[in-house]
Amino acid sequence: MIEVVAELSRGPVFLAGEALECVVTVTNPLPPTATSASSEALAWASAQIHCQFHASESRVALPPPDSSQPDVQPESQTVFLPHRGERGQCILSTPPKILFCDLRLDPGESKSYSYSEVLPIEGPPSFRGQSVKYVYKLTIGCQRVNSPITLLRVPLRVLVLTGFQDTRFPQDEAVAPSSPFLEEDEGGKKDSWLAELAGERLMAATSCRSLHLYNISDGRGKIGTFGIFKSVYRLGEDVVGTLNLGEGTVACLQFSVSLQTEERVQPEYQRRRGAGGAPSVSHVTHARHQESCLHTTRTSFSLPIPLSSTPGFCTAIVSLKWRLHFEFVTSREPGLVLLPPMEQPEPVTWTGPEQVPVDTFSWDLPIKVLPTSPTLASYAAPGPSTSTITI
């Protein structure tokens, strides 16, 4: 019996373009004093990162798979296929790397191997939607002699910051930001430079504040003014807005605002509704604020963006966008007053109206949500960074 443990040194969240580092430890768990203790051997072990794509058949109409180049060894148990047994299609993978060959461990002996690979920047982000799913995994394959391959899968979360596809890393060390107190190899310098550049771009894109005002009105008049200080956010930030109802000519009885994502299948992949297909657009609410606001002059709200959610992105099959979805309930009666008279010659009992004729309408305001620091996302939404398998 051999125990294989894979541990991600920094957590399970990474930015596309970063270097993933994993320590693979192989142990013979039997104590040397055991009567049945003997040496254990593994023929080889290899590691590879891959992204699995799965689409809902009721929402997405994918073209038939290309059968001109079939997999000649789909059922072979002696060939390293990291995506064997996974749902969907493998749309992205890194070259496999051999960790070791002909390893023999005495009872109680343990050996560790380091695996490092740069996550491709051209892939989609990790996403689990209603129409499609993009799932990243690090798969480690091990094999004994004359035995089938055993696969150990480590789940990953990949964040994609658009704009890095055309980035060229500097060749001059003086150009790249670095610390003179740290000694780094070339790979470490490149990875550090990428992380610093991503942090600078995110900070620059989300730190600009400028008040944006929107007049809200229906067919009968103005309801109020909505104000928001920025339209670009990072995961983990709060969307703060203000609503001024004092200038309105139409009484607003209640309003609600929801922080939503809109997942939309691209037109060429939409399944026709008449053919039994589900809607090509789906919405998910991440936070919501509701308030009764009659006789309210000014109010505000704050909606947190979950760190576990996916920033906006677009692929050939699906797009994900963020928005604020407002719903207003307004009175049909002009000059509606639902407060008791302030001055009465004698005590009276006042009862508000049992029914008020109302209208409802909605309004959507698009916003942009970008990734955040992978380290912050790992701490706030921890996932499994260690996986174990026994062979």
Which of the four pLDDT bands, split at 50, 70 and 90, describes residue 165? very low
Taking Cα atoms as reference points, which of 239, 229, 258, 220 lies closest to residue 335? 220
Taking Cα atoms as reference points, which of 152, 139, 195 lies closest to residue 17? 195
> Considering only 126-135, 138-147, 267-276, 302-311, which range has the smallest mean pLDDT?
267-276
Average pLDDT over residues 174-200: 54
3-7, 59-63, 70-74, 83-87, range with greatest mean pLDDT: 3-7
What is residue 81's predicted lDDT score, i.e. its pLDDT?
77
Q: Is-contact 1 369, C-beta < 8 A?
A: no
Strands 232-234 and 110-118: unpaired
Q: Which helix (H) or strand (E) holds 376?
A: helix 374-380
Q: Show the tokens assigned to 248.
A: 């309105």
Q: 254-295 pLDDT, tens per residue?
A: 999 999 999 999 999 988 765 555 678 999 999 999 999 888
What is residue 73's predicted lDDT score, i.e. its pLDDT?
42
Instruction: List all residues 6 or more positions away from 174 whose beta carbon is below 8 Å from its beta carbon.
Output: none
**Phi (first) and psi of residue 267, to 5 degrees:** -55, -40
Query: What's the pTM?
Result: 0.82
> Considering only 311-325, 336-350, 373-387, which range has the smallest mean pLDDT?
336-350
**Phi (first) and psi of residue 190, to 5 degrees:** -65, -45
For the chain, what is the total number of helices (H) and then of strands (E)?
A: 2, 21
Average pLDDT over residues 203-219: 88
Between 51 and 39, residue with greater pLDDT:
51
Q: 180-190 pLDDT, tens per residue?
A: 444 444 444 55
- Residue whose structure tokens are 């996550």: 119
